[in-house]
Amino acid sequence: MRKQTILAFSSLLSLATAQYNISTARTASTTTIPSRLGFTLTWSDTFSQSSTLSTTNWKYDIGTSYPSGPANWGTGEIQTYTSSSKNVYISPQGYLTIVPIRNPKTGAWTSARVETVQDGFKCQAGGKMVIEARILLPGGGNQEGVWAAFWAMGRKFRRGGNHGWPATGEWDIMEAVNGGSTIVGTAHCGVFPGGPCDEPNGIGGTAEIIRGVFNNYALTVDRTSTDWQKEYLSWSLNGIEYHRVSGYDIGDANAWSNLVHEPFFLLFNVAMGGGFPSGWAGRETPTSDTSSGYGMLVDWVAVYNKMYK
């Protein structure tokens, strides 16, 4: 195995700012969450409180599985998640920074996965909800096997002892693998395998990004129709929709109810390897050539709600 240089835990931001001339002038005191016309900001985090995550807002997932969940988080990913400041921290510029690191002696990978303490993010009947985050995915290096994600899981999964997927529902708001320019937004629901969401594939759409710059990733839940089949989920990149799934597309009232009518919690993580990046690459990932230290930066995350009279 070729030895890789382990980047220091602050290097992801340093690499991004140096290579792509990203401004580091942003300070926590000047960070504001953008408003949405007609919407109320119901929850947010600008990661401005300190160098560590707020335990009021976030909790760390540790190890290689949930306490009663499947091994390797059910996806075949190979890293161990930690709460170490080498893997997850808030930079001096106020960015949540998740960095996967490979041990140069053992080849073992560590990274981080965090989820919101709050698990009641829900779109009320007759309303809309938008979940959005501003994220930078760095370019450069050999990122084969790197799997960055911003996503949400149905609260029933957490309350049911980490069981019941995919019936409990999952929204993959943004997934990106192998350092590529394609991002994926996906809905997971129903039963495994197959079912109305074609598990384990889910129902997904893609868009293209420029790496090394911040992009806004959002999911809109629209329940303004009185007909559940006309309700929909919409994925957007920098305000432009690229994927939509409606109740009519799912065609299963119970699966749709779990996917859209129930509360959810949010997650950020950077995995290494697993079915998604390996399938995309056409071989097992990561490889001995995969670079250590490439993850993601999160500027802010917000949840908005709007009710129609």
pLDDT given for residue 30 in this prediction: 54
pLDDT given for residue 52 in this prediction: 83
Within-domain flag for 2: no
Q: How many Å apart are CA 256 and CA 68, to the nearest integer?
A: 26
pLDDT given for residue 142 in this prediction: 98
Within-domain flag for 27: yes
Half-sphere exposure of 221 (CA within 13 A, CB side): 32
Within-domain flag for 4: no
Q: Of 270, 300, 272, whose CA–CA distance to 284 is shortest?
A: 272
Q: How many Å apart are CA 81 and CA 151, to the nearest integer?
A: 17
- What pairing do the DSSP bridges indicate for beta strands 80-81 and 109-111? parallel
Within-domain flag for 294: yes
Q: How many Å apart are CA 255 and CA 242, to the nearest integer?
A: 23
Identity of the amino acid at 96: L
Q: Phi/psi of residue 94, each to 5°?
A: 90, 30
Q: Phi/psi of residue 226, each to 5°?
A: -80, -5
Q: How far is CA 64 from CA 21, 113, 151, in A?
A: 36, 11, 18
Q: How many Å apart are CA 272 and CA 127, to the nearest integer?
A: 37
Query: Which CATH number goes with the domain that contains 132?
Result: 2.60.120.200
215-265 pLDDT tens trace: 999 999 999 999 999 999 999 999 999 999 999 999 999 999 999 999 999
Within-domain flag for 6: no
pLDDT given for residue 49 in this prediction: 72
Answer for the pair 214, 136: CB distance below 8 angstroms, yes or no: yes
Helix-, strand-, coil-residue percentages of the chain, each rounded to 5: 15, 35, 50
pLDDT given for residue 247 in this prediction: 98
Total domains, the chain: 1
Within-domain flag for 53: yes
Within-domain flag for 59: yes
pLDDT given for residue 91 in this prediction: 93
Specify the pTM: 0.91
pLDDT given for residue 60 in this prediction: 97
Number of Cβ within 10 Å of residue 176's Cβ equals 26
15-35 pLDDT tens trace: 444 333 344 444 444 578 999
- 152: which 2 tokens? 């949400």
pLDDT given for residue 309 in this prediction: 65
* Integer-rounded Cα radius of gyration of the chain: 19
Answer for the pair 137, 295: CB distance below 8 angstroms, yes or no: no
| Structural domain that includes position 103 | 11-307
Within-domain flag for 261: yes
End-to-end alpha carbon distance in the chain: 63
Answer for the pair 63, 80: CB distance below 8 angstroms, yes or no: yes
- Spans of the chain below 50 pLDDT: 1-29
pLDDT given for residue 23 in this prediction: 41
Q: How many Å apart are CA 304 and CA 128, to the nearest integer?
A: 8
